[in-house]
Amino acid sequence: MNFDFIIVGGGSAGCVLANRLSENGLYKILLLEAGKKRNIWSSVPISFATLMNNPKANWLYKSEPDEGSNFRRIEIPRGKLIGGSSSINGMVFVRGQSHDYDHWSQLGNTGWSFEEVLPFFRKMENFSSGDDAFRGRNGPLRVIQPKENGLLYDAMFAAAREIGIPKNRDYNGEFQDGVAMTQATISRGKRQSTAVAYLNPASNRKNLTVLTNSYVTKLILKGNKCIGIEYLKNNTPHKVLANKEVIVCSGTINSPQLLELSGIGDAEIIKDKGINVKRNLPGVGQNLRDHYAPRMKWAIQKKGYTYNDKARGLGLVWQAAKYILFRRGFLSLPAAPMRAYVRSREGLLSPDIGISVNPFLITDGVKLAKESGFTMAVHVLRSESTGTIHIRDSNPITPPDIKFNFLSNESDCSILLKGMRMVRDWIHSDAMKDIAGVELAPGKDINSDAGLLDWVRDNAETTYHPVGTCKMGTDSNSVVDCQLKVHGIRGLRVVDASIMPTLTSGNTNAPTIMIAEKASNMILEANS
């Protein structure tokens, strides 16, 4: 069976493409997803805590030990269901800074300046306070700014003001600087994944076919052209051909894996795994970037203001009732309800540090701790440390080898330390003196740069924003061009977070959706 366009991966980008490419009714579209159609808990915002460890909705990848994590293996949750990671993430909506996209353009990626991507950001969103020069109001993806308040948030705003961090009405507007309640892909108390916002409205189109539990194992190449894919469904191999294009939307981990399994990548790596080289592209699997975040923790003197308190006994019953009846309370909120973007020093063009405020303490990864407190996560917005993702062997089921190399860049270490000391200043302000208790982690006795960095290497985690392994560009390590076409292979594009040349300043789901919107437009124009 033939289709015009085959989309590999029904995640944050794939659902967008499936909607937009099928919209005009002119093309036959096939969307393949390795996971299931849905998870019953995905719609409840707080469910991200359990979905992070759920093998039915998550690839459950882990990194290889390296020096940046004191040779720990770090968990890397990635969505394995329709909607991909947008169906299991913390629903935080951050576009990043205009500087991020202008930098992409300066690297030679024509068409990717902020001015050129802004229309697609506006096109994709339905922001509750939108419809100005920077924000959209008529798109499919609903975005809200929660109005949850309380003593902790009020004190945090006052404390930020004390140390010179202003309040920002819209960090996705003209400027990112400041502290704000978190904007989120939530509507009426329910998660707005790309499955909900994009795929569901298109699901009845006769020209769109969606296959779940269908794991793509190989791209079919004829000379220098991609003509189709091979996939497994119920352990049975299948083959399907594309009349126009195959579009890989498998994400930062799975997209380079699929390219290498198909003979596209570094020739030496591919040959070593017993795979015939179809196209030597040394950049495949290189340039892995992510936000590495230490979680600083404090006890709280005031009870009743953290999730740890609210989730106990009758409090949890009340929160459940509040959610069921009114779609309110902490069950309806994103992962980090408050955040700040700040500059590590004067003279910078834009913020280089991100800080999230989490009104809870967790243990064993995602479980709420018995004690009450809050967490401040800090990360370098545009980390320069890079890692790799490569196949281990020729078996498509084998998880790839993932190496982050966090803190391998000295500037990342310096900026992170400044961010951690800024967080301490924030919490030690007058506005927090009756609220913040003892510093639980790293602890007040760890003060030296070396001591803090050792603690970070022992305890920090990824913030689940991997990008860059099929980067867009014109240099020898780029994988796709500015049209997202794979260099040297006709009929093949990559459309997901893996094409980002550098990290954006914040959570990466919104930029990934923008990339898919822009790619859809480019594909339709090329075939008009």
Q: Any idea which residues carry the catalytic annotation?
A: 465
Helix, strand, or coil (residue 243): strand
User: Residue 294's CB: how many other CB atoms inside 10 A?
Assistant: 24
- What is the C-alpha to C-alpha distance for residues 236 and 228, in angstroms, rounded to an integer? 17
Helix (H, G, I), strand (E, B) or coil at 237: strand
Backbone angles phi, psi at 43, to 5 degrees: -70, -25
Cβ contacts of 275 within 8 Å, gap of 6 or more: 260, 261, 263, 394
**114-145: string of b/e by CB count within 10 Å (b at 16+)?**
bebbbebbbbbbbbeebeeebbbeebbbbbbb
Distance separating alpha carbons of residues 177 and 174, to the nearest angstrom: 9
Evaluate the omega torsion of the peptide bond into residue 442 and state whether it is cis, within 30 degrees of 0. Answer: yes
Report the 3 state secondary structure along 385-433: CCEEEECCCCCCCCCCEEECCCCCCHHHHHHHHHHHHHHHHHHCCHHHC
| Other C-beta atoms lying within 10 Å of the C-beta of residue 391 | 25
304 Cα distance to chain centroid: 31
**Phi-psi sector, 251: left (phi>0), alpha (psi -120 to 50), beta:** left
DSSP element (H, E) containing 216: strand 214-222
Label the pairing between strands 388-390 and 338-342.
unpaired
Query: Which residues make Cβ contacts (< 8 Å) with residue 226, sequence separation at least 6?
Result: 219, 220, 242, 245, 246, 486, 489, 490, 491, 492
Token code pair at residue 279: 């196209």
CB 422 within 8 A of CB 353: yes
User: Token match 């991200």: residue?
Assistant: 48
d(CA 263, CA 498): 18
- Taking phi over 0 as left and psi of -120 to 50 as alpha, with beta for the rest, 64 belongs to beta
